[in-house]
């Protein structure tokens, strides 16, 4: 696989970029020819120590949703996952990994809007990165607000979609509701009824929900 490619792939491709802990395994995807928009989404997978990878089904459906809207997408494995080098760093090093991927995206697609998304643990990493970046859209799916320092983070300066299942067995739905209520209009919370943490049998519904809610913010 290529390392630090000088251009965004023209078709679905795996590649490495150089990160702070070594190489980072990435998967880039592109929309159908003629449907491209000037925006790239970088998406973060769930907890590395609980089986999270760039091929997680929820992350994959988020990727598909955005690609079908015309965005280029990048998924990547945090340090110590798959072929990415390094060891789990409880969110700090993983944020550095995300920033390295974003830096690469900004080099190869300097004029694109930057979109960020994450599922579970990945939603925390994406929100951390969004603190200091000109992000056009943030998507947070099943954010584990009781396990990480969400309360210490500021809302991003962009539209923010938060999706939570009301039967989540991993993340407390009530904790997410309370957190979102304190945020007020900064976050657009959408609750999916009859839905657990991994969106079993609801992935197509999630796909449609994401597309419907972010479409007004497309470039």
Query: Dihedrals φ, ψ of 60, to 5°?
Result: -65, -40
Alpha-helix residue ranges (DSSP H) falling in the chain: 57-68, 92-108, 121-130, 173-183, 203-214
3-state class percentages of the chain: helix first, strand second, coil last, to nearest 5: 35, 25, 40
The CATH number given to 2-217 is 3.40.50.1820
Residue extents of the structural domains in the chain: 2-217
pTM: 0.97
From its phi and psi, is residue 39 left (phi > 0), alpha (psi between -120 and 50) or beta?
Answer: beta
pLDDT per residue, tens digit, the chain (219 aa), is 899 999 999 999 999 999 999 999 999 999 999 999 999 999 999 999 999 999 999 999 999 999 999 999 999 999 999 999 999 999 999 999 999 999 999 999 999 999 999 999 999 999 999 998 999 999 999 999 999 999 999 999 999 999 999 999 999 999 999 999 999 889 999 999 999 999 999 999 999 999 999 999 999
């Amino acid at each position: 696989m290529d390392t630090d490619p000088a251009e965004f792939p023209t078709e679905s491709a795996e590649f490495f970029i150089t990160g702070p802990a070594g190489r980072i395994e990435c998967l880039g995807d592109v929309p159908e020819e003629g449907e491209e928009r000037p925006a790239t989404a970088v998406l973060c997978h769930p907890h590395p120590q609980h089986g999270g990878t760039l091929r997680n089904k929820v992350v994959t459906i988020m990727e598909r949703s955005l690609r079908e809207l015309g965005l280029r997408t990048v998924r990547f494995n945090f340090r110590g996952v798959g072929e990415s080098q390094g060891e789990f760093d409880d969110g700090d090093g993983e944020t550095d990994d995300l920033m390295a991927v974003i830096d690469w995206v900004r080099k190869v697609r300097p004029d694109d809007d930057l979109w960020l998304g994450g599922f579970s643990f990945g939603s925390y990493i994406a929100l951390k990165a969004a603190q200091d970046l000109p992000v056009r859209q943030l998507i947070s799916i099943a954010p584990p607000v009781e396990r990480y320092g969400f309360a210490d983070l500021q809302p991003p300066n962009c539209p923010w979609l938060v999706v939570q299942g009301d039967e989540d067995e991993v993340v407390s739905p009530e904790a997410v509701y309370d957190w979102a209520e304190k945020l007020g209009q900064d976050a657009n919370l959408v609750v999916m009824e009859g839905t657990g943490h991994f969106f079993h049998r609801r992935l197509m519904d999630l796909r449609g929900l994401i597309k419907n809610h972010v479409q007004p913010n497309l470039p």
